[in-house]
Structure 1
Amino acid sequence: MKRKYQFLAQVITIFLVGALLQNCVNKKEEDAHDPWNQLEEIKAQIQPPTFPDRSFNITDFGAEAGGEIKNTDAFARAIQEAHDSGGGKVVVPKGTFLTGAIHLKSNVNLHLEEGATILFSRDPQDYLPVVFSRWEGMELMNYSPFIYAYDQENIAVTGKGTLDGNATTEYWWPWKGNKEDGWEEGMTNQDADRDSLHHLNAEKVPPRERVFGEGHYLRPNFVQFYKSKNILVSDVKLVRSPMWNIHPVLSENVTIRNVHIETLGPNNDGVNPESSKNVLITDSYFDTGDDCIAIKSGRNQDGRRIGVPSENIIIENSVMKDGHGGIVMGSEISGGVRNVFARNLQMDSPNLDRVLRIKTSSKRGGTTENIYLKDIKVGQYKEAAIRANMFYEPPGEFMPTIRNIVVENLQVENGGEYGVLIEAYEESPVENLKVINSTIKGVEKTLEVNNAKGLEFRNVTINDQKFDKIFGSESFTEKTNQEE
């Protein structure tokens, strides 16, 4: 009898050890497939630039505070001297310094001391000659962005000062000519120039022959890094932008941290990584007139011709207030977007339209994939917590793809019209969207899903309705406020 019990004990022990080993194997396999394991590897590749311990105060190059005298030449001389000396810090001391365009050069850190303001001129002539740029995803020669770098490396804008774009309902913003935003009919607007640029793009006119600038009305972006690498924007406050705020294009190794963006004009997106790789946006505040963060990769013909996606984007530890969307992909997305990680974010505003938005069309094409969000707290929003839309503009011939999206631990206290809203083509449904361990309260409609494949809700509550279901591989359309 004793041997029998010993044998049973051995069998049970072997079984338990085997089960434990199998659990360990399963856990390792599960961990190996956890996309968040990529985050630290990507983050380790993003290193902010460092600079020699040399300072170049703009007042030593003739700059005068007060906001009345233009200091464009003084900024240029200080930056050139720092660059020629092997790099260093161009210091903007306390005070208000009026200027036109500032062009950064390699190994230069434009540093604003606390109490310093760079006030940008309202005269379009101060942003000439034209430079090579992107405007809404299309390449052209246009007014210089207010702070601009082309083909540079190891560059920064830092310090606890303020960048003031000086745009208002009387300057820069009226170029859009949007009556609904408070501007009267008859004011100059950008519509004709925008249509012309669209035409030049569609006709494949070489970008350097697409000359705008003087006599035209395509607003320059605030801060643009073009074909540059090893970039840092840290601690500064940005206000009153003419258009997009921080816009890395075809750039790599970009750190944006502790920035405060508060500007409610038209198209005042916060950060727009475009066709850029290895971008970290962290510990920042966004109160914007358009999307807080909008990830892009070129519009239509230009996006497909260049064919460079935005990839390896990390967004974390930040606050989003007003804006059309918190985390957005598109709409200029023809080159594709992949590997976006957003975590530990707070959003809360009656004017925040959407938490996660993907906007594209069959004019755009491109693939948006591997988008991961988790630990998102939302007080309120207006339209949808999650929206994927393939009909943002009229149709074309380039079918877009949206796939592999996971949203975990999204907690919404007061939702808007929809919980989840999907609008896709039957021949190109949104694939593999997962919502996990999430609660959305106070919406008018739980789901409106038009053409999705592999949609999964795991431990999700929308209003008081429980969703714990894998819809499978079939495409379907469902609109419900009721129990399934």
Structure 2
Amino acid sequence: MSLKKYVILLLFFISVFPAMAKDYRASLFGIYSDGVTLNTRSIQYAIDYIHANGGGRLVFFVGRYLTGSIHLKSNVTLHLEEGAVLVGSLNPWDYDRKVWTSLIFAHDQQQIAITGKGIIDGQGRYIARNIVDMIHKGLIKDAFRFDRPEAECRPVLVYFKSCENVKVTGVTLRNSSSWVQIYDQCRKVGLDSIVVDSKAYWNNDGIDIVDCDDVTITNSFIDSDDDGICLKSHDAGKVCQNIVVRNCTVRSSANGIKFGTASYGGFSNVKISNVKVYDTYRSAVTLAAVDGGFVENVWVDSVQAFNTGNAIFLRIGERIKGKKGRMENIHLSNMYVEVPATKPDAGYEYEGPTEDMPRNISPAGITGMPDALISNVTLKNIEIRYPGGGNPMFAKVGLDELDKVPENPEFYPEFSMFDELPAWGLYVRHVKDLKVEGLVLSCEKKDYRTAVVLDDVHGAAFTGTKVAKPDKREWIYSYKSTGVVKK
């Protein structure tokens, strides 16, 4: 065989069989599965050893493995067989803090993974309780806002920063005391077939993608008391981009899919498809640019949402004075949403805030600012079913009072941020180049409001709109708007 053919064959085997690295049983390193022995140093020694010897998998078999913070290294996989549970310690001093406090860290590493059908259990409500006790004793310094420790002080389950080629597959992540998993400025991240079951304490975001490039989230189930799948941009010089979310189911006492809560940099080239949302307190989909960053080139397709407080919320804000966001090229298609008359997450732990109730059901919203218009938005084949029954005694804003709707540029971006709105189906304000095709809105009970209200909208085409309502009023009202066409 010629040298050239030999090299080609060798490269083929390397590419097809990259996972031939050695497996190491956890017991080899004196790691105990009794749920009592603290294994932090033994697990870390095992990771360091495997990393230093060419990489491989640290395999955990059936049992409960108690640990504090561990740091994953390049070319090392934590593999949890079915029945294996990695259990977070209840002692706050067993955790490290590098910006965030975490059970599993990785910083500046490559080719790392967490795999298998096992469980990572943070014992969140109990570790949070112990942190509160330490704060009261003065041993931990914390702002302790809202009578709870700051999110960064409580252990998340996974915090990976500036890593490349990251894989998390098959595992269940349960009971974090803060955000569940954070991937921060990472490249080439693949999350597949994972389960997030985390309703143990406040701020339990299911998945947080922060300023990452090339991320896929597929075939996963997320049940969390805060935003389910959340994209953020913490760095004004970074962009969260090339993100794919596909074939996922989400339940949340906040938003199903949300990005832009922190929007200092930007979001670009995001594709979301075939997602189901249920029993969710806020919006099925929220996109926001409120900290001076931008949102561009987003495609959302085939989303079904049942018993969800709101369908769509798009928002430009100005939480940092003098820094307005930008949002353009947003495409939403093939969505079906049922909005209930009652609280969608009633009965779950850590429900959405009751102080927002009672109120009239809010419409889907696309809301820019007077000097920062959202541009080039397409809504295609979207059906939203509302309960109707709006009560004008709550806080009526009539069609002749649209200027009374507050701008609230500094507010946290949520669909209820404007209080009462004059539309029951779709409210559009400070927008240009809006295309709406095949919109279906239905209202079960009579509502004093108009179905669709446009305020400062320039260039809007409605094609094939169907509005089913108990009265015969005109379904759309335009104010300070130009170029509005109905076909």
Q: TM-score range by the shorter chain?
A: 0.7 to 0.9
Conserved in 2, the CA contact under 8 Å of 1:51 and 1:107? no
- Of 271, 276, 299 in structure 2, the residue corresponding to residue 372 of structure 1 is 299
Paired letter, 1:451:
H
**Match in the other structure for 2:441:** 462
Q: Which consecutive residues of structure 1, in runs of 5 or more, have no partner in the other structure?
A: 1-46, 134-141, 178-184, 196-211
Choose between structure 1 and 2: higher strand proportion. 2
Paired letter, 1:372:
W
Choose between structure 1 and 2: higher helix proportion. 1
**Cα distance, 1:413 vs. partner?**
3.2
What TM-score does the superposition give when structure 1 sets the normalisation length?
Answer: 0.73
Question: CA separation in 1, counterparts of 2:152 and 2:167?
Answer: 30
The answer to whether 1:426 aligns with 2:370 is yes
Question: CA separation in 2, counterparts of 1:194 and 1:432?
Answer: 39
**Match in the other structure for 2:128:** 172
The answer to whether 1:51 aligns with 2:32 is no
**Cα distance, 1:189 vs. partner?**
10
Question: CA separation in 1, counterparts of 2:31 and 2:292?
Answer: 48
Distance 1:309 1:452, change over 3 A: same
Conserved in 1, the CA contact under 8 Å of 2:90 and 2:127? yes
The answer to whether 1:223 aligns with 2:158 is yes
The answer to whether 1:386 aligns with 2:349 is no
**Cα distance, 1:323 vs. partner?**
3.6
Distance 1:310 1:397, change over 3 A: same
**Cα distance, 1:88 vs. partner?**
0.7
Matched residue SS, 2:49: helix
Question: CA separation in 2, counterparts of 1:324 and 1:49?
Answer: 42
Question: CA separation in 1, counterparts of 2:163 and 2:258?
Answer: 23
**Match in the other structure for 1:26:** none
How do 1:70-469 residues align onto structure 2 when only pairs under 5 Å count? 70-128=38-96, 130-131=97-98, 133=99, 143=101, 145-168=102-125, 170-172=126-128, 192=143, 218-264=153-199, 265-298=201-234, 303-304=235-236, 307-349=237-279, 351-361=280-290, 364-382=291-309, 384-391=310-317, 394-414=319-339, 417-444=361-388, 445-463=424-442
Conserved in 1, the CA contact under 8 Å of 2:435 and 2:460? no
**Cα distance, 1:247 vs. partner?**
1.1
Question: CA separation in 2, counterparts of 1:355 and 1:91?
Answer: 38
Conserved in 2, the CA contact under 8 Å of 1:434 and 1:455? yes
**Cα distance, 1:431 vs. partner?**
1.3
Conserved in 2, the CA contact under 8 Å of 1:174 and 1:187? no
**Cα distance, 1:50 vs. partner?**
4.6
Question: CA separation in 1, counterparts of 2:163 and 2:16?
Answer: 13
Question: CA separation in 2, counterparts of 1:371 and 1:61?
Answer: 47
Indicate the larger mover: 48-57 or 308-317: 48-57
Question: CA separation in 2, counterparts of 1:83 and 1:429?
Answer: 51
The alignment's C-alpha RMSD in Å is 3.2
Distance 1:376 1:187, change over 3 A: farther
**Cα distance, 1:443 vs. partner?**
4.9
Conserved in 1, the CA contact under 8 Å of 2:160 and 2:184? yes
Question: CA separation in 2, counterparts of 1:374 and 1:460?
Answer: 14
Conserved in 2, the CA contact under 8 Å of 1:258 and 1:285? yes
Conserved in 2, the CA contact under 8 Å of 1:258 and 1:283? yes
**Cα distance, 1:174 vs. partner?**
8.2
Conserved in 1, the CA contact under 8 Å of 2:206 and 2:227? yes
Question: CA separation in 2, counterparts of 1:187 and 1:291?
Answer: 31
Matched residue SS, 1:321: strand
**Over residues 47-67 of structure 1, what are the superposed CA-to-partner deviations in whole Å (9 max), with x where a residue is unaligned?**
999533311111110111121
What TM-score does the superposition give when structure 2 sets the normalisation length?
Answer: 0.73
**Cα distance, 1:326 vs. partner?**
1.4
Distance 1:328 1:191, change over 3 A: farther
**Cα distance, 1:225 vs. partner?**
1.1
**Cα distance, 1:171 vs. partner?**
2.8
**Over residues 257-310 of structure 1, what are the superposed CA-to-partner deviations in whole Å (9 max), with x where a residue is unaligned?**
000001112111111111100000000001001111110110xxxx22xx1110
Question: CA separation in 1, counterparts of 2:371 and 2:17?
Answer: 45
Conserved in 1, the CA contact under 8 Å of 2:428 and 2:457? no
Matched residue SS, 2:48: helix
Distance 1:89 1:285, change over 3 A: same
Question: CA separation in 2, counterparts of 1:397 and 1:228?
Answer: 33
Matched residue SS, 2:261: coil
Paired letter, 1:250:
Q
Matched residue SS, 2:28: helix
Distance 1:442 1:48, change over 3 A: farther
Question: CA separation in 1, counterparts of 2:132 and 2:187?
Answer: 31
Question: CA separation in 1, counterparts of 2:440 and 2:299?
Answer: 19
Conserved in 1, the CA contact under 8 Å of 2:434 and 2:460? no
Distance 1:100 1:189, change over 3 A: closer
Distance 1:188 1:335, change over 3 A: farther
Distance 1:251 1:388, change over 3 A: same
Question: CA separation in 1, counterparts of 2:16 and 2:298?
Answer: 24
Distance 1:314 1:103, change over 3 A: same
**Over residues 16-68 of structure 1, what are the superposed CA-to-partner deviations in whole Å (9 max), with x where a residue is unaligned?**
xxxxxxxxxxxxxxxxxxxxxxxxxxxxxxx9995333111111101111211
**Match in the other structure for 2:396:** none
